[in-house]
A and B are shown apart, each in its own frame.
Chain A
Amino acid sequence: MLEPLIHLRKVEKRYANGVRALHDVSLDVKRGEVLCIVGPSGSGKSTLLRALNGLESITGGEVVVDGFAVHDHRTNLNALRRRVGMVFQQFNLFPHKTALENVMLAPTTVLDVPAADARARAQALLDKVGLGDRGASYPAQLSGGQQQRVAIARALAMQPDVMLFDEPTSALDPEKVGEVLDVMRQLAREGMTMLVVTHEMGFARAVAHRVIFMDGGEIVYQDAPEGFFGAPRNERLKAFLGQILK
């Protein structure tokens, strides 16, 4: 059998201030799998994603992503991060660069891709997220939904093996949520491995192969969407879903 693309074993994370953000988290994700992570605020969802690309160091257990032992301090995290795309709630586009330059920057500086190739590829990615005509715009001139789509294109420019999304639509006006979810749905259809922290239960139900419920830093429950949303056998999850679907 193929080795899982992501492998977590008994992961612990305690912040310097003593907060235990992750506890005994074990998880395997196969190549091509789409995973949605839901849970109340402060349950450790962001911490989990950030532990995967080493933005946050863990205090116990093992994290292996794409063959890189993230928990090992000898691992070259820069090399790992080239293989792992990340999309943030606040977009975090580079405000001093145009949309096209945002998408080109990492390939040209990190991979030494010639500018002409990087430009052509960036243009193709902007076309793909439906912003082919906005390449010359600066982030401040784009709507939230457009910025988030540029951010997705920027992450894709490194041709990652896995994409991490941390509440990608939470900062958007409701009418802009759809355009971003459409891009993500398209990515999932193309077979991208995705971990998506989201409150969009419709998206999770329709796109995810597996949904994970986190609470208090632990994975409390996981199942395929039918079971997860249909008849969950967990009281905390029931209460959470009752809250959110109300």
Chain B
Amino acid sequence: MRPSMKRWMWHGVYAVVLLALGFGVYLATARVDYDWRWERIPQYLVGTEGEEIRAPFDGFVDVADDGKSIVLNELKGAGSERYAGFDRLLVGDGDLVFQNDVLARKSGLQAGPLAVGLWVTLEISALSLVFALVLGLVAGLGRVAQNPAARHLAATYVEIIRGTPLLVQIFIFYFFIGTVLSLSAFAAGVAALAVFTGAYVAEIVRAGIEAVPRGQMEAARSLGMNYAQAMRHVILPQAFKKILPPLAGQFINLIKDSSLVSVMALTDLTKAGREVVSSTFSPFEVWFTVAAMYLLLTGGLSWLVRRLEKGMAAGA
């Protein structure tokens, strides 16, 4: 067989295995009489029922003659509020409404709960990533420092964080540190993830610095540069190239680990998934969708890092 034919054969094997796996999933769900309702999922990604206008207080509705605007007059008090520009009116003239009742809807699309959850996950991950990078750089430099205080502090931080489960750390941040400093669930989540990832970043940074040949530091120092100058201009730029791939892997882990913050009062993508499951009773479809959305985030990050690596390879 020619080599190219052989290669196509193995591509074929790959496709067959994938198909077999898919068929296996189908059979498995057929056994438990699961009925797939994929059509229920899109509404949780993108809402079509339109933006709601809700009453800010209890009061009576006064609809204008042309039906294009309404005025809400406060029941106990002199407040009044005028609304216009809606597409569907849900109340009639003279109706008594209570605070938070829906008065009217504007048509248009808005983010469904899964999309909102995706956004929260993205926000938490991006913020934690920035803080983890700073924390990891400082701790990594501490690990390789001459100063014993810096070295021991950094080592202690890394050991404690790497030796305890992230879920336990999240509880500690949420219930203890969060309470003491009165942090929001969001801030506590970001802090826990940043501190956790920072410890791993520190080890990556340390390994990267140690992988730069000793002669580089000696050459820099013998030119009269001080330690900080040598680190900044000579060691770290070289270390950065070595640490980019493991760093990218760590940040992909960060996105996945962020699903654990759903144990707090915080509606990230995973929590949103749980909520949607409880209102649709379609767990398979929802969790497959959620998994695909995480893949979208992690795949996007991998793609970005590959581009960055290519750019750097071209630069030097």
CB–CB B223/A154 < 8 A: yes
CB–CB A105/B226 < 8 A: no
CA distance A53 to B218 in the complex (A): 11
Known interface pairs A106-B224, A109-B229, A158-B223. Does A95 touch B238 (Cβ–Cβ under 8 Å)?
yes
CA distance A110 to B216 in the complex (A): 16
Task: Choose one: A79, A81, A90; the contact of B223 (CB below 8 Å).
Answer: A81
Known interface pairs A78-B225, A110-B224, A158-B224. Does A92 touch B238 (Cβ–Cβ under 8 Å)?
no
Shortest Cβ gap from A38 to chain B (Å): 22
Asked if B221 is an interface residue, CB under 8 A from chain A, the answer is yes
CA distance A187 to B253 in the complex (A): 56
Taking each of A79, A85, A110, which has the highest tally of chain B beta carbons within 10 Å of its own beta carbon?
A: A110
Name the A residues within 8 Å of B229 (CB-CB): 109-110
CB within 8 Å of B: which A86-122 residues: 86, 88, 90, 92-96, 105-106, 109-110
Asked if A220 is an interface residue, CB under 8 A from chain B, the answer is no
The number of chain B residues touching the other chain, given as a range, is 10 to 19
Known interface pairs A109-B229, A109-B233, A138-B316. Does A78 touch B218 (Cβ–Cβ under 8 Å)?
no
The number of chain A residues touching the other chain, given as a range, is 20 to 34
Shortest Cβ gap from A118 to chain B (Å): 13
CA distance A94 to B218 in the complex (A): 11
CB–CB A92/B225 < 8 A: no
Name the B residues within 8 Å of A151 (CB-CB): 219
CB–CB B222/A55 < 8 A: yes
Asked if B92 is an interface residue, CB under 8 A from chain A, the answer is no
Name the A residues within 8 Å of B241 (CB-CB): 96
CA distance A79 to B221 in the complex (A): 11
Shortest Cβ gap from A1 to chain B (Å): 29
Asked if A155 is an interface residue, CB under 8 A from chain B, the answer is yes
Task: Choose one: B223, B237, B316; the contact of A106 (CB below 8 Å).
Answer: B223
CB–CB B238/A86 < 8 A: no
CB–CB B238/A55 < 8 A: no
Q: Which residue of A lies closest to B217 (CB)?
A: A92
CA distance A156 to B222 in the complex (A): 12
Taking each of A55, A92, A138, which has the highest tally of chain B beta carbons within 10 Å of its own beta carbon?
A: A92
CB–CB A53/B222 < 8 A: yes
Asked if B96 is an interface residue, CB under 8 A from chain A, the answer is no
Asked if B215 is an interface residue, CB under 8 A from chain A, the answer is yes
Shortest Cβ gap from B285 to chain A (Å): 50
State the B residues within 8 Å of A (CB): 213, 215-216, 218-226, 229, 233-234, 237-238, 241, 316
Name 13 interchain pairs, CB-CB below 8 A, sorted by A: A53-B222, A55-B222, A78-B224, A86-B219, A88-B215, A88-B218, A90-B213, A92-B213, A105-B233, A106-B223, A110-B225, A110-B229, A138-B316
